[in-house]
Amino acid sequence: LAPEPRAPQFPIPANVYAETVVSVRHYTDRLFSFRITRPQSFRFRSGEFVMIGLPNAEKPVFRAYSVASPAWDEELEFFSIKVPDGPLTQHLQKIQPGDTVLMRQKSTGTLVLDALTPARRVFMISTGTGIAPFASLLRDPDTYEKFDQVVLTHTCRDRAELVYGQELAASLKDDPLIGELTEGRFTLYNSTTREESDCMGRITALIGSGKFYSDLGVEPLNPETDRVMICGSMEMLKDVKELAENHGFVEGSLSAPASFVVERAFVG
Ligand code: A2P
């Protein structure tokens, strides 16, 4: 049951949905996730983002958030950074069940399956909150229809920041819709860069050294058999995009599907 909505302090602007926070979970002092009610008429493709705001000003600040839940879910899930002075996140991090969150009505984005041509394996490369669009895609049956093997990499500063993705990965097999589909076909690869863990280093370094392949026991990235989806900070995108291009991958779009796609993980 959705919590009783509390009245927002400011009028809701035209052409935005006003939705109710259903749940909030804090992972660290930098990361949290939240779920909101889903407008009946809202449709999106797994992997896309929407603009999120709060009704705390006459002209609310909106920021882009990848939808982390799959397209079939009754609620919408998001995974967010907390920036102490962030125009939106300094307030958003304080939301509680029953509060109102604003959402612009149109979703968009490049991290969509239709921007890739079919292949055997897909590698979803993420850092920090860049895992969010993949959390959506991993729970979408179309992902397993299109690809035989799905590898998600998630690199964060410390181990606590990996928990969101680890719990998501563990929950896949029990999912009534996609549980069976994912059996033996999904792999999560984690690393940390600032706290000691079983696997350390940036994903670019781990791929570059070959440790990534030997850890997983898989063939190296190959544009003939693989597709790559990338989401993280601006610097991460630049470096992983370069790595993909050096391996012969070509950036795709809805109008010209190809072998890799990129989206920045938004902060603020
Ligand atoms: P590092 O700790 O070496 O900066 P953030 O939370 O700052 O967005 O970082 C998330 C993760 O992304 C961190 O592990 C960080 O490593 C890593 N990272 C940052 N920049 C790059 C980059 N250019 N290429 C690959 N990984 C990166």
CATH number assigned to the domain comprising residue 174: 3.40.50.80
Both 96 and 121 in one domain: the answer is no
Same domain, 85 and 212: no
Alpha carbons within 13 angstroms on the beta-carbon side of residue 6 total: 13
**One domain for residues 221 and 128:** yes
Q: Find out whether 70 and 46 touch, Cβ atoms under 8 Å.
A: yes
Question: Do the domain assignments include residue 213?
Answer: yes
Residues with CB under 6 A from ligand 1: 127-128, 155-157, 193-194, 202-204, 232-233, 235-236, 239
Residues 6+ apart with CB under 8 A from 60: 10, 13, 53, 54, 102
**Boundary residue ending a domain (80, 104, 128):** 104
pLDDT band at 15 (very low <50, low <70, confident <90, very high): confident
- 9's torsion region: left (phi>0), alpha (psi -120 to 50) or beta? alpha
- Give residue-wise pLDDT tens across range 152-201: 999 999 999 999 999 999 999 999 989 999 999 999 999 999 999 999 99
- Interface confidence, given as ipTM, is 0.98
Domain count, the chain: 2
Q: Does 5 map to a domain?
A: no
Query: Residue 226: which of 131, 136, 151, 154 has the closest Cα?
Result: 151
| Residue percentage of the chain with pLDDT more than 70 | 96
Q: Which residue CA neighbors atom 18 of ligand 1 most closely?
A: 236
What is residue 268's predicted lDDT score, i.e. its pLDDT? 46
- Asked whether residue 121 is domain-assigned, the answer is yes
User: What atom of ligand 1 comes closest to residue 157's alpha carbon?
Assistant: 14
Copy the structure tokens of residue 222. Answer: 């190959």
Which of 132, 86, 119, 85 minimizes the C-alpha distance to 250?
119
- Residue 230 corresponds to which tokens in the numbers above? 């990338």
Q: Which of 65-69, 175-179, 252-256, 262-266 has the lowest mean pLDDT?
A: 262-266
Give φ, ψ of 128 to 5 degrees.
50, -135
Residue 193, domain extent: 113-264
